[in-house]
Amino acid sequence: MSLNKSSARLSLAPVSYFWAKDTLYDFYARIADTPVDIVYLGETICSKRRSLTADDWLQLADKLTTAGKEVVLSTLTLVEAASELGAMQRICDNPGYRVEANDIAAVQMLSKRFRDSQIEGFVGGPALNLYNTRALNKLVTLGLKRWVMPVEHSAAVLDEFIIPETVETEVFAWGRLPLAYSARCYTARTHNTPKDDCELRCLDYPDGLKLSTREKSSFLVLNGIQTQSALTHQLIHELNHPKVDIYRISPQSQSTEKVLQLFHDCLHGSLDPDQAEQQLENYAPFGTSNGYWHGNAGMSSHTPSAQ
C-alpha cells in the first residue's frame, strides 16, 4: 500500500487540566522523547492553578529545547484581575521564547515588542476568534507569525482564507474541543464552593469532569472555567490539507505519547490512517468526532467511506 506523506509538523498544546507538579514534570520528561516538533507550555485556563512557577515553566522550556523541541509559552485565555495581567506581561516579556497569545491583551503586549523589534512575532491561539482573512491580516500587521485556527472552522472555510506566505497555519487535530470560557468556575459550582475558595477541586479531575445528558449520553466536560466537548475531536484521516503547516494534539492524562506517535507515523507515511484510527479509539473514552472540519455539527463523525 502506498501511503501519503506530509511535510506538516506536529505540536502539543498546553495542558488544559490541573495536574500536580510531579505529574507535569514526569509528563514533559516523557514528551521530550516523543517525535513531537513543537511544545506549548503554560497555564491557559485558571490563574489559581499554580503547580509550577514561572521559573519552573522556563526550566521545562530549556530542557525541551535541549531535547530538540520548539517551545512556545502560552498565556491565559481569560484575564479577570490586575495580577493576571501582570503575570501575562511577564510571559510576554520573556527574552528567549515565542509566545502564544490567547487573549487580545497579550496581543497588545506582544505587538508593542514586535514594533520595537524585540521579538520576531507571536502565535495567535485558538481563542482569538480569527474568523476571516481581514481579521487575520490585522493581527499580521501586529506581529502574528502563526495562527491556530478556531476549532469550529471547517476545511472549506480554511480554503477561503488568503494566508500570507510568512504565516503558518496550525489546526487542532486531536483532543476534547475547547468550546467556551466563562467567569464562573463550573467545577467549583459542582461542589457548591465559591470560585475564590474553590479548594482546588480541579486536581481531582485530571481529564475534567464529565457532564451527561438526562439520557446518560456523554455530552460535555467541565474544566474549571472552560467547557470542552466530551467526544474527542480527531483528524487522523485529514492530515493532507495544503494550507495546514502544523497539526495540534491536546494532552490528556493517559496515552498522549501513543497518540503523538500514531499521528507522526501517519504524517510520515509509515502507517495507514485506518489502522491508526482503530488504535486511537482506545484513547478516546467517550468516542470521537470530526464534524466541524466537514462543516457539520461538531458531535458528528465523517469517515472517508461516507464521501
Residue 303: its pLDDT value, please? 79
Does the pLDDT value for residue 307 go beyond 90? no
Q: How many CB atoms within 10 Å of residue 61?
A: 21
* Rounded average pLDDT over 130-140: 97
- For residue 209, the Cα-to-chain-centroid distance in whole angstroms is 18
Residue 5: its pLDDT value, please? 74
On the CB side of 210, CA atoms within 13 Å amount to: 13
Does the pLDDT value for residue 81 go beyond 50? yes
Residue percentage of the chain with pLDDT more than 70: 98
Give Rg (Cα) of the chain.
19
Does the pLDDT value for residue 1 go beyond 60? no
> Per-residue pLDDT tens for 137-152?
999 999 999 999 999 9
Structurally, what CATH architecture does the domain formed by 9-176+231-285 represent?
Answer: Alpha-Beta Barrel (3.20)
Residue 6: its pLDDT value, please? 78
d(C-alpha 16, C-alpha 44), whole Å: 7
Domain residue limits, the chain: 9-176+231-285
d(C-alpha 129, C-alpha 288), whole Å: 24
Does the pLDDT value for residue 183 go beyond 50? yes
Residue 25 contacts by C-beta under 8 Å, 6 or more apart in sequence? 60
In the chain, the DSSP E strands lie at: 9-12, 38-41, 70-74, 98-101, 122-124, 144-148, 168-181, 209-212, 218-223, 226-234, 246-249, 288-289
Full-model pTM: 0.96
* Rounded average pLDDT over 10-25: 98
SS3 content of the chain, % helix, strand, coil (to 5): 35, 20, 45
